[in-house]
Amino acid sequence: MKTKPFSEQIAIVTGGGTGIGRAFAEALAQAETTVVIASRREEVLKQTAAELNTKFSAERIVPFGCDVLDRDQIEALVSFAFERWNCIDILINNAGLAVPETVEAITETGWSTVLDTNLRSVMQLTRAMLPHMMAEDFGDIVNVSSQAGKHGFADVPSYCAAKFGMLGYAEALRDHVRRQGANVRVFNFCPGLVDVENALAEQSPRPGFIHVKNMADTLMYALSLDREVVLEDINLYAR
Ligand SMILES: NC(=O)c1ccc[n+]([C@@H]2O[C@H](COP(=O)([O-])OP(=O)(O)OC[C@H]3O[C@@H](n4cnc5c(N)ncnc54)[C@H](OP(=O)(O)O)[C@@H]3O)[C@@H](O)[C@H]2O)c1
């Protein structure tokens, strides 16, 4: 089965300028992977790329402005990566948000924003990337769901629906690649509270939260397993 060192891999991390996505991008760049970080705020992306590239003294992080609610921008992201490297090895579907609401007090706009950002964009990005991964017979798709994708919470019903939906979609995707005999793995993170405010190595997470470095460490562990091994749903939260 085909393998590739991290130093020869290309990754896309949506929402890679901040929080969990940034920690993922940093861990991958540390392993010498080239990482495209994609989200709406280009200034944030550029700042993150500059900081991490300075840290590693190499141009490993590439910022790319992309609103995942816009299908044309998703396609522009995919085209950019393929024109530049002709492959994408790792897709991390991390961009996401919640709109606090209740089952009664929920707006059409809130529903659309949450479902389209957290779920629809994941299906669009995956649809765009998968044929290339299949052709290369190599790829990893990593989805950032949530404990809200496993349990319902009254204050974020549409977020729960999207994160549960993401796990269902991932299971169907995994079945699809298995039937095709493709060397493509699908992992899901289902974290509880992750402290993205205290992300420096020397900082302690707030009570009830985990330090974001645990997400990055787990990502690299999961990706490092033998190609035939899939660490399916990764539940991690503060005990
Ligand atoms: N932190 C937690 O406790 C926790 C727990 C469970 C799951 N999660 C999940 O982890 C993921 C990352 O969250 P985080 O905690 O790291 O918070 P965060 O720093 O707010 O990250 C969310 C990222 O998504 C991007 N984003 C939002 N809407 C977007 C859009 N329309 N197009 C492109 N990018 C978009 C944001 O960038 P721009 O604003 O620049 O677009 C931002 O970088 C999310 O999917 C979240 O649901 C977080």
Decide: helix, strand or coil at residue 41. Answer: coil
The pLDDT of residue 21 is: 98
Instruction: Kindly report the backbone phi and psi dihedral angles of residue 36, in degrees, each rounded to the nearest multiple of 5, phi listed first.
Output: -90, 125
Partners of 39 in the β-ladder: 65
pTM of the entire predicted model? 0.98
**Does the beta carbon of 41 sit less than 6 angstroms from any atom of ligand 1?**
yes
Q: What is the DSSP string of 126-178?
A: HHHHHHHHHHHT-EEEEEE--GGGTS--TT-HHHHHHHHHHHHHHHHHHHHHH
**Average pLDDT across the chain, whole number:** 97
The pLDDT of residue 211 is: 98
Report CA(84)–ligand 1 centroid distance (Å): 26
Residue 102 CB coordination number (10 Å): 10
**Does the beta carbon of 158 sit less than 6 angstroms from any atom of ligand 1?**
no
The pLDDT of residue 155 is: 96
Report CA(77)–ligand 1 centroid distance (Å): 18
Tokens of 183: 């060397």
Taking only the tens place, the pLDDT of each residue in 179-234 is 999 999 999 999 999 999 999 999 999 999 999 999 999 999 999 999 999 999 99
Tokens of 110: 């809130």
Active site positions, annotated: 159
The CATH H-level (homologous superfamily) assignment of domain 6-236 is NAD(P)-binding Rossmann-like Domain (3.40.50.720)
The atom of ligand 1 lying closest to the CA of 212 is 1
The pLDDT of residue 25 is: 98
Flag the least confident range among 105-109, 162-166, 172-176, 221-225: 105-109
Report CA(47)–ligand 1 centroid distance (Å): 17
Does residue 106 carry a pLDDT above 90?
Answer: no
The pLDDT of residue 213 is: 98
Q: What distance in Å separates the CA atoms of residue 76 and residue 80, rounded to the nearest whole number?
A: 6
Pick the closest to residue 166 from 185, 147, 194 (CA basis). Answer: 147
**Does the beta carbon of 18 sit less than 6 angstroms from any atom of ligand 1?**
yes
**Does the beta carbon of 74 sit less than 6 angstroms from any atom of ligand 1?**
no
**Does the beta carbon of 42 sit less than 6 angstroms from any atom of ligand 1?**
no
Q: Where are the domains of the chain?
A: 6-236
Taking only the tens place, the pLDDT of each residue in 50-99 is 999 999 999 999 999 999 999 999 999 999 999 999 999 999 999 999 99
Could you give the dihedral angle defined by the CA atoms of residues 17, 127, 117 and 106, in that order, rounded to the nearest 10 degrees? -170
